[in-house]
Structure 1
């Protein structure tokens, strides 16, 4: 997908897992290019099979496309933010893999809601009536309106106030206020049925417990469930987020900044058992799915670990690091220290990258033992965990470097990871 060969220096920097402006810029550009490509692919699919799409859905899809174009002419930065939001990627993945029929029609109807969201944030005038399947009107990255059973809602946005009510123009259910200037990242709302996303303290990261695409059905074994907005302890999540960011800032300020800028959404999962769980979706970089953490250290580690799964997934779309396995043949699998099951080379690469990031974090925490405000137990825990994971990453890197499944870029990426781990290993005895 990438047009020009990547700068080897930038790739080497990404391989170390250390935050850097050049790497972040490459990944942001790659993510957006990927979203535009997938959106265009969906448009082509609809055009080729338009006779199979329900007429009302097709009209809404085409109206949404035109509205999205209007919003982009007014505020291209806002449209980019909407398209790059994690759940937009999950929606595109679902729509592009759904067979033709009613299921695809339901996904296609979501484009109009994305376009409405972009238009409202961009300050564009909107006056239209939209269907609300299930009695819910989602505005991705902003919130949702619960229609109270109404099958259609009218959106009237011809000023700074946006009124959302019954399809006949009566019975206003929600009022949104939008900024005339500024970044327009959020809309504030009130009124019956309005549910707005909460921003986590100190930045623009949302606690995403509203979007219908925040968690695919049947994810995980056993299947995981996304926490409902009404059942989410928003204050508790805010407290844990603040404590985790404070711990990261005291340990590694650059990583704390990267987490704040790169994690667009934290998706609460329903707990199952006592162990904290974190996950990411390759189609939705920037979203971290997790159960409530046991403490600041658990959450900080989960954020760093899962963010690096997202970073590597985005990079692999830009610069393939391993080759696809030939169809019809079982892919080789390998044993790694942090899993009980054997993993394909893609899983080994993902695991190495995420654990190298943690090793880097723990190394800094252990060496910065006397930093003001950092608890001693964090230093001790970090030293122990670095020592535990170090040999596991060494062994998994050997698997990667001996494999013929990596591309040339992937092999060099693995070499740079090994080089960075070696730089951390030089002071290993001093961490105890």
Structure 2
């Protein structure tokens, strides 16, 4: 059993296995469902065979099985995807032996896929799209899966993720832009704090490219997200540069850490009512959303302050401006967080440590101009938010 336990465990605990498992559980818990939901559940359950096939292939176990391509695509997580000659759901016979997969479908030549020792696999067949990876964040780190193929990588529908979407596939030019930004991310992380690079290396397990929404400009902007059920996966549009890429990692990994902590311990017992002002959002936030946002913004304030303190940094002034804005935003959120009667003992300790970390940043203040502009920005955001929402919301203690 030990010979194949490691590949199987790696596949089961891969971040994008989580969204698949959650989709299965939702389907199984739905009771009597319509035809569309039943069809989705059958597809979800069938995907387990693909997961098992990849685990067996990684362990070098010979097998022969029949899988089903979904909408003309058979995705083998971490290896690649077969595009079938027919559209719709297509049966594909898969055999594995001697470090090779042979994929057989109706009305098309067999496709032979050569397994690699690292991430992915290769084939000379045009019907096969290999999984891609970025180089390890450090010289000793393994390649990082860069997944635009897994059928469970897409964000769920809903207002939380706005108009973020996952593209079907990236072309070579777009992959090159990702690689260029990624190649300088490690030194940027290191400049933002001694533990940032180690943290990213320990937590990041998968990158999922997102299509850039039209309202995100070229400059320094990008959009990103994490999913509670996909711990270790970061979803992001193409970062324009290494600084943006590093900042995205800092921001989203904070969300991942706090979500994991919240699964382990109860930090608060606040309800889901959206009633709190958050300077980084135009809409009212529930307490947990305010806590998540303040925690990630606190890390961003620390990241940019540490970069601003590096002598000779080309974008030092810009880093001070970013630090001042993030710190001012956290300052505006802290009173509601610290003053909540819904905090548990552990939650109280947690937000008190957040407040202490915020206060320690005063030892190296940003230039006055940046502080004044950041405070004016928060005050303007609060005034606008109050005009829009305050009259319709009950007091937080009700």
| TM-score normalized with structure 1 length | 0.74
Match of 2:374 in 1: none
What is the Cα deviation at residue 96 of structure 1?
1.6
1:245 to 172, 183, 186: 186
Match of 1:190 in 2: 123
Distance 1:229 1:332, change over 3 A: closer
Identify the range of structure 1 (158-167 vs 101-110) with the bigger mean alpha-carbon deviation. Answer: 158-167
**Once the two structures are superposed, what CA deviation does each residue of 1:146-175 show, in whole Å capped at 9, x if it has no partner?**
22228221221122222222379x932131
Matches within 5 A, 1:328-347: 331=273, 333-347=275-289
Matches within 5 A, 1:138-287: 138-149=75-86, 151-166=90-105, 171-179=109-117, 185-192=118-125, 193-202=127-136, 203-220=142-159, 222-231=162-171, 233-273=174-214, 274=217, 275-287=221-233
Distance 1:292 1:166, change over 3 A: same
The 3-state SS of whatever aligns with 2:16 is helix
1:114 to 39, 46, 51: 51
Matched, 1:363 2:305: yes
What is the Cα deviation at residue 244 of structure 1?
2.6
4+ residue stretches of structure 1 with deviation over 6 A? none
Match of 1:319 in 2: 265
Alignment partners' CA distance in 1, 2:178 and 2:274: 40
Matches within 5 A, 1:396-411: 396-411=333-348
The 3-state SS of whatever aligns with 1:212 is coil
What is the Cα deviation at residue 357 of structure 1?
1.2
What is the Cα deviation at residue 348 of structure 1?
0.7
Tell me if structure 2 keeps the 8 A contact 1:87–1:284.
yes
Tell me if structure 2 keeps the 8 A contact 1:125–1:157.
yes
The 3-state SS of whatever aligns with 1:163 is strand
Higher relative contact order, structure no. (Cα contacts within 8 Å, ≥ 6 residues apart): 1
Tell me if structure 2 keeps the 8 A contact 1:120–1:178.
no
Alignment partners' CA distance in 1, 2:317 and 2:213: 28
Matches within 5 A, 1:349-360: 349-360=291-302
The 3-state SS of whatever aligns with 1:75 is helix
| TM-score normalized with structure 2 length | 0.80
Tell me if structure 2 keeps the 8 A contact 1:286–1:310.
yes
2:10 to 81, 99, 118: 81
What is the Cα deviation at residue 324 of structure 1?
6.1
Matched, 1:295 2:251: no
Count of matched residue positions in the alignment of Structure 1 and Structure 2: 346
Tell me if structure 2 keeps the 8 A contact 1:161–1:178.
no
The structure with the largest helix share of the pair is: 1
Distance 1:230 1:336, change over 3 A: closer
Alignment partners' CA distance in 2, 1:260 and 1:390: 26
Match of 2:377 in 1: none
In the alignment, structure 2 segments of 5+ residues that lack a partner are 137-141, 371-398
Tell me if structure 2 keeps the 8 A contact 1:359–1:386.
yes
